[in-house]
């Protein structure tokens, strides 16, 4: 049996959950491949945790279907689903030792003591906590508790592991180290992982694919690279990585859209399929700064602004440029580029092909969590 075959495929179809007038999940559909590391990413209240609770069996669906390994599990109660769950606050049983905690799912399955002990040791070894079997959870640090919780969730070899912001309560250094541990464990087990987080960096580090949630819907599903380079909505573009969005008076001619911003005209390839208001989206590393006296190259757009913040990062520099319409652009430049300082009047330059045309959306501004 190869590692990939041990994980189960998950199919969420038209999942809807309403609480009175509030719609927590709005017709969510998502397919997860066996053995895949899928991250549900979104701000708080976006429906990602609700989705996880639905899969775990803690929350019933108002409508829709849910299948694990091809079989619908909507009607199954949580204890019959055989799914591992890791909670944000560890949820270790405080009255049991680490060993008893990890053995609990095996005890429930009526396994004899010898087989149980062997699996407990194996699971604790995997999270590097084997020396702590006789300790109580209250005697462990947060990171250690979370590793025990992980061991408890994988010890019964579930085909699917759900993790609800498991590193949310830990400090940055520990979080980064545990991210790599989780990645390693995922590789070793071959189990399907569904991971909930609001931290886009964490999502990029861990995931095979990311589903971006917003207001109870999935905005886009794709690899980190796809979401960064080819966002389909302004919300996704702003949630993943840094970006600059430009708005202005729009005109469409042929397969080209132009925006007039404070008297200056810029162009972008393509046009919006719907009737929405267009926004030009630019990633910081696609932008460059130039003195206003140098003319732009062919195929380049140019907008005049003033440097309002200049940060030296070692590997390069980061600038904030306030444009004439008041909007702020974020620019990352390499070490070789000409340095500018706060107050300088500069031209913001980029190639037409590097700009992304997206429909405007006020909801996209609610990305802060």
Partner 1 sequence: MSQTSHTPTAGGDHSRPSGAVQGPQRRLRLAAYPSLLAMPALLLLIAAMGYPLLTVTLRSFSDPAWGLQNYVWFFSTPVNVTVLWRTFSIAAWVTIVCVIAAYPYAYLMTAVEPRLRLVLILCVLVPFWVSGVVRTLAWVILLQDSGIINSVIRLLGFDGVKLIRTQTGVVIGMAQVLLPFMILPLYSVMRGIDLRLVQAARSLGARPARAFLEIYLPLSLPGVFAGAIIVFILSLGFYITPALLGGPRSTMLSTLVQSQVLSLLNWGRGGAMGVVLLVATFVLLALAAPLMRQRHKQASRS
Q: Quote the crossing angle between the two packed helices 113-126 and 142-154, to the nearest 10°.
A: 130
Give me the 91-120 binding string for partner 1, x by CB under 8 A, dash otherwise: xxxxx--------xx--xx-----------
By the rule CB under 8 A, 13 interacts with partner 1: no
Rounded to the nearest whole angstrom, what is the least distance from the CB of residue 97 to partner 1 in the complex? 9
CA distance 141 to 165: 17
CA distance 57 to 84: 11
Rounded to the nearest whole angstrom, what is the least distance from the CB of residue 136 to partner 1 in the complex? 5
By the rule CB under 8 A, 137 interacts with partner 1: yes
By the rule CB under 8 A, 7 interacts with partner 1: no
CA distance 203 to 182: 12
CA distance 349 to 360: 22
Three-state secondary structure call for residue 142? helix
Residue selected from 35, 42, 47, 84 as contacting partner 1 according to rule CB under 8 A: 84
Give me the 37-76 binding string for partner 1, x by CB under 8 A, dash otherwise: -------------------xxx------------------
- Let me know: does 22 contact 346? Beta carbons within 8 Å: no
By the rule CB under 8 A, 19 interacts with partner 1: no
CA distance 154 to 126: 10
Largest CA distance in the chain: 81
Residue selected from 43, 69, 136, 226 as contacting partner 1 according to rule CB under 8 A: 136
Instruction: Report the 10 Å Cβ neighbour count for 297.
Output: 10
| CB closer to partner 1, 80 vs 118 | 80
Number of residues that bind partner 1 (CB under 8 A): 29
Rounded to the nearest whole angstrom, what is the least distance from the CB of residue 146 to partner 1 in the complex? 13
By the rule CB under 8 A, 82 interacts with partner 1: yes
- Let me know: does 4 contact 34? Beta carbons within 8 Å: yes
Q: List the end-to-end C-alpha distance of the chain, in Å, as a whole number.
A: 42
Instruction: Considering only residues 144 through 183, tell me which ones interact with partner 1, judged by CB under 8 A.
Output: 152-153, 156
| CB closer to partner 1, 338 vs 369 | 369
By the rule CB under 8 A, 20 interacts with partner 1: no
CA distance 276 to 362: 12
By the rule CB under 8 A, 77 interacts with partner 1: yes
Residue selected from 26, 33, 67, 87 as contacting partner 1 according to rule CB under 8 A: 87
- Let me know: does 131 contact 121? Beta carbons within 8 Å: no
| CB closer to partner 1, 105 vs 241 | 105
Q: Number of C-alpha atoms within 13 angstroms, CB side, residue 290?
A: 15
Rounded to the nearest whole angstrom, what is the least distance from the CB of residue 80 to partner 1 in the complex? 8
Q: Residue 256: what are its φ and ψ, rounded to 5°?
A: -145, 140
Give me the 220-259 binding string for partner 1, x by CB under 8 A, dash otherwise: ----------------------------------------
| CB closer to partner 1, 70 vs 77 | 77
CA distance 157 to 355: 46
Residue selected from 83, 194, 212, 303 as contacting partner 1 according to rule CB under 8 A: 83
Give the burial string for 55-76 (b: 16+ CB within 10 Å, else e): bbbebebeebebbbeeeebeee
| CB closer to partner 1, 138 vs 293 | 138
Rounded to the nearest whole angstrom, what is the least distance from the CB of residue 68 to partner 1 in the complex? 13
Tokens matching residue 75: 């009607």
Instruction: Give the dihedral sign, CA 77/80/83/89.
Output: positive
Binding residues (CB under 8 A) for partner 1: these are 56-58, 77-85, 87, 89, 91-95, 104-105, 108-109, 136-138, 152-153, 156
């Amino acid at each position: 049996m190869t590692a990939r075959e041990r994980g189960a495929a998950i199919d969420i179809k038209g999942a809807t959950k309403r609480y009175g007038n509030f719609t927590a999940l709005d017709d969510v559909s998502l397919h997860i491949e066996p053995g895949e590391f899928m991250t549900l990413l979104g701000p708080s209240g976006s429906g990602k945790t609700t989705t996880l609770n639905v899969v775990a069996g803690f929350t019933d669906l108002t409508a829709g279907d849910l299948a694990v390994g091809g079989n619908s599990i909507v009607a199954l109660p949580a204890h019959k689903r055989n799914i591992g769950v890791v909670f944000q606050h560890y949820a270790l049983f405080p009255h049991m030792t680490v060993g008893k905690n990890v053995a609990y799912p095996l005890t429930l399955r009526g396994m004899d003591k010898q087989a149980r002990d062997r699996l407990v040791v194996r699971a604790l070894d995997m999270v590097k906590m084997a020396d702590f079997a006789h300790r109580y959870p209250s005697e462990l640090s947060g990171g250690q508790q979370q590793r025990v919780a992980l061991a408890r969730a994988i010890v019964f070899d579930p085909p699917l592991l759900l993790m609800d912001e498991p590193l949310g309560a830990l400090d940055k250094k520990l979080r980064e180290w545990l991210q790599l541990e989780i990645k390693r464990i995922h590789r070793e087990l071959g189990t399907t992982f569904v991971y909930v987080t609001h931290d886009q960096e964490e999502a990029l580090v861990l995931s095979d694919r990311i589903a971006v949630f917003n207001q109870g819907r999935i905005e886009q599903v794709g690899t980190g690279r796809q979401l960064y380079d080819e966002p389909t909505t302004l919300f996704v573009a702003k949630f993943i990585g840094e970006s600059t969005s430009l708005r202005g008076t729009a005109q469409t001619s042929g397969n080209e859209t132009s925006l007039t911003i404070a008297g200056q005209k810029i162009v972008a390839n393509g046009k919006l399929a719907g009737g929405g208001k267009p926004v030009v989206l630019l990633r910081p590393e696609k932008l460059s700064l130039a003195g206003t006296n140098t003319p732009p190259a062919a195929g380049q757009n140019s907008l005049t602004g003033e440097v309002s913040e200049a940060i030296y990062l070692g590997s390069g520099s980061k600038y904030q440029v306030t444009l004439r319409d008041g909007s702020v652009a974020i620019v990352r430049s390499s070490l070789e580029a000409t340095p500018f300082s706060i107050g300088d009047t500069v031209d913001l330059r980029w190639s037409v092909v590097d700009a992304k045309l997206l429909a405007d959306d006020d909801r996209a501004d609610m990305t802060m969590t």
